[in-house]
Structure 1
Amino acid sequence: MLEITPKPKKMLSLLQEKLDYVSAYRENRLKCAQDILENPSLFEELISISFSPENKNNHKACWILEFVSYEELLWLQPHLDFFCSNLKILKDESSIRPIAKVVQLLVKSHYKKNENSIALSEQNLQDCIEASFDWLITDTKVATKAYSIRTLFILGNYYDWIHPELKVIIDKDYADHSAAYKAVAKEVLKKIK
């Protein structure tokens, strides 16, 4: 008689197990981010999951990556080529919003030019510009659009073609958006003029 042995269950990584228990509650996300900050060896896997849309915990990883980036943005430095080149693969709003915030943090840091600054390559910057414009002109939520507007405003101080393009998009879309969008748009338009 032939015996069928069951296939062993795939072992979840420690990070995957943690992400399974993360919920949208801020305290819950902060706790997981703190676990990453205390275990930097998990950071590379966090980035990998953040850019794996097929992973059920993809959006949760993005939430945690945003919180970790507030504390340790420099941890992203060795991963910038991967991070920036994969911005376009994100399609889920729950993943895009926190990553749009991280892009804003990266761009701000890059132009601060001090010993704790992020150093983005020209290709990284082009990827950030492309993703930010895509998020601004596609059907994303207002928070993502607001981060994109602010990111593009900063970049427009160094690329002279960005501010005119940004102004056209904001002017065209202004009437169709919420008060929150209008507030950010008005703030940025004042600075552009």
Structure 2
Amino acid sequence: MTTQQLYEELNYVNHSREKRLLYANLLLSNPELISNLLEILFQVDDKISCKAAWVLEFTCGENLDYIIPHLDYFTQNMHKVHLDPAVRPVAKVCEYLANAYYSKTENAIKQTLKPEHKERIIELCFDYMINNEKVAAKAYSMHTLFLFGKDFDWIHPELKTILERDFSQQSAAFKARAKRILKKLK
């Protein structure tokens, strides 16, 4: 399947879990399509890029190892994503990576997530925290930053400052996640 054919297929993806999972399974059965999907995802001004982001999130949720060969490309370009429906899944994939990296169980992410990948993820998550992003992207980002703060001493104080500063102006969902993170930071 070419990038163009995958692009046309993504027209049929909608918000339903069923459709996202259907296309995630297509990618899981054909991992060579991940590079095509990422190419579409990073056509950031195209609404189809959002559908690519949804499928990537579901694919990584099923098997995160499929993104490993593409970590350089993904982390070098993820900051370009700006459409709201695509930002949330990108933040979720970053959270998946952080969760895997700090998992107690041995996994391939622990061996393949390089310092430059972590730095790019950290930078993106801080951007999501300080910019006017939707609450889901902020929630995934604060958890990702909390995890990476285990290895980078400067992250927790910065994260705490942002959470405390923004707490009163944010939604109930933000406050709930922020309370949990702030409690862990004390």
TM-score scaled to structure 2, two decimals?
0.93
Cα distance in 1 for partners of 2:19, 2:64 equals: 20
SS at match of 1:112: coil
In the alignment, residue 157 of structure 2 is paired with which amino acid?
Answer: P
Write the deviation string for residues 49-102 of structure 1: whole angstroms up to 9, x where unpaired.
112213341000000000000112111111111111112111111111001000
Deviates more, 1:78-87 or 1:165-174: 78-87
In the alignment, residue 121 of structure 2 is paired with which amino acid?
Answer: C
Task: Give 1:111 deviation, angstroms.
Answer: 2.6
Rate the CA distance shift 1:169–1:35 in 2: closer, same or farther, 3 A: same
Higher helix fraction (1 or 2):
2
Counterpart residue number, 2:137: 144
Cα distance in 2 for partners of 1:166, 1:56 equals: 31
Task: Give 1:16 deviation, angstroms.
Answer: 1.3
In the alignment, residue 155 of structure 2 is paired with which amino acid?
Answer: I
Rate the CA distance shift 1:12–1:157 in 2: closer, same or farther, 3 A: closer
Cα distance in 2 for partners of 1:114, 1:25 equals: 31
Give every structure 1 segment of 4 or more consecutive aligned residues whose post-TM-superposition deviation is greater than 4 Å. none
Task: Give 1:140 deviation, angstroms.
Answer: 0.6
In the alignment, residue 185 of structure 1 is paired with which amino acid?
Answer: A
Task: Give 1:36 deviation, angstroms.
Answer: 1.6
Task: Give 1:104 deviation, angstroms.
Answer: 0.6
1:112 partnered with 2:103: yes
In the alignment, residue 94 of structure 2 is paired with which amino acid?
Answer: V
Counterpart residue number, 1:170: 163
1:135 partnered with 2:128: yes
Rate the CA distance shift 1:22–1:116 in 2: closer, same or farther, 3 A: same
* 1:75-86 matches, cutoff 5 A: 75-86=66-77
Deviates more, 1:49-58 or 1:97-106: 49-58
Query: Which structure is larger by alpha-carbon Rg, 1 or 2?
Result: 1
1:156 partnered with 2:152: no
Task: Give the gaps of 5 or more residues in structure 1.
Answer: 1-10
In the alignment, residue 181 of structure 1 is paired with which amino acid?
Answer: F
Task: Give 1:25 deviation, angstroms.
Answer: 1.8
1:92 partnered with 2:69: no
TM-score scaled to structure 1, two decimals?
0.89
Counterpart residue number, 1:23: 14
